[in-house]
Homo-oligomer: A and B are copies of this chain.
Amino acid sequence: MEVKVLTIAEDILGANKEKARRNQDRLDKHGILTVNVMSSPGAGKTSLILRTINGLKPKTRVAVIEGDVASRIDADKVHQQGVPVIQINIPGGCHLDAGMTENALNNLPLEEIDLLLIENVGNLICPAEFALGEHKKVMLLSLPEGDDKPYKYPLMFTEADIVLVNKLDLLPYLDFNITAFSQAVTGLNPKVKISPVSCKTGEGLETWFSWLEDEIRKMKNRHS
């Protein structure tokens, strides 16, 4: 029997954009660079955020919004670093949206923040479809997930401004072709920046820190 391919169209996009634009205006007014952090479950979003808080301090004042279906495990880890953090729980939901983000912004000290990192729900699909008001999107793909993911979850890779290939420390134990992966991502998104990192050892993170510092500088210049 031949392989049959059935294609089923489904529109799950909401009327989220206008609210996201209002959030962005508000963040712009305060000169807060806002980055939407997306990945599969367990790819290393929280580890990246903890590394970033420590890599950029004391120059950059970071705040964090944590999105999860359940639990406050990640928010508690961030809180221990002494930065403002809001945990959003979404029972049954699979992504953050602009309304939830607005709610969190109402609870953050906006005049004291240079960089806002929003950790989305662990999911390679829906978070790419819902703008929050962020200026940039970073996605993490961890090596154990496999180098075929750009073919299976193309929108996430198309939408990202920067792709961090995490868990580089596991490379010797895996069949992951970084060149093939990078070619697949660039095929979807020619302008994207791709950077291999290990949030466990710290390897490669300077590139990410420099990229963020550049973007924060541009934001400050635009709004000064």
Chain A contacts to B: CB under 8 angstroms: 1-13, 40-43, 68-73, 75-76, 79, 84-94, 100, 103-104, 107, 109, 121-126, 129, 142, 144-146, 148-149, 151-155, 167, 169-170, 173
Additional pairs, 8, CB under 8 Å, beyond known A40-B122, A122-B124: A3-B75, A13-B92, A41-B149, A41-B153, A42-B144, A71-B148, A144-B170, A170-B170
Question: A150: shortest Cβ distance to chain B, in Å?
Answer: 9
Question: A19: shortest Cβ distance to chain B, in Å?
Answer: 14
* Complex contact B170–A94 (CB within 8 A): no
Question: A107: shortest Cβ distance to chain B, in Å?
Answer: 5
Residue of chain B at shortest CB distance from A125: B94
Question: A74: shortest Cβ distance to chain B, in Å?
Answer: 8
Bound Cα distance from A173 to B200, whole angstroms: 11
Given A69-B152, A125-B123: A91 and B9 interface contact (C-beta under 8 Å): yes
Bound Cα distance from A73 to B84, whole angstroms: 43
* Complex contact A6–B41 (CB within 8 A): no
Bound Cα distance from A203 to B190, whole angstroms: 41
Residue of chain B at shortest CB distance from A154: B70
* Complex contact A126–B88 (CB within 8 A): no
Choose one: B6, B13, B124; the contact of A103 (CB below 8 Å).
B6
* Complex contact A41–B5 (CB within 8 A): no
Choose one: B90, B125, B154; the contact of A121 (CB below 8 Å).
B125
Residue of chain B at shortest CB distance from A80: B3
* Complex contact B3–A90 (CB within 8 A): no
* Complex contact A68–B3 (CB within 8 A): no
> Given the complex, which residues of B lie within 8 Å of A7, measured CB to CB?
89, 91
Residue of chain B at shortest CB distance from A65: B6
* Complex contact B167–A6 (CB within 8 A): no
* Complex contact A8–B89 (CB within 8 A): yes
> Given the complex, which residues of B lie within 8 Å of A151, measured CB to CB?
70-71, 73
Residue of chain B at shortest CB distance from A129: B92
Question: A148: shortest Cβ distance to chain B, in Å?
Answer: 6
Bound Cα distance from A88 to B10, whole angstroms: 13
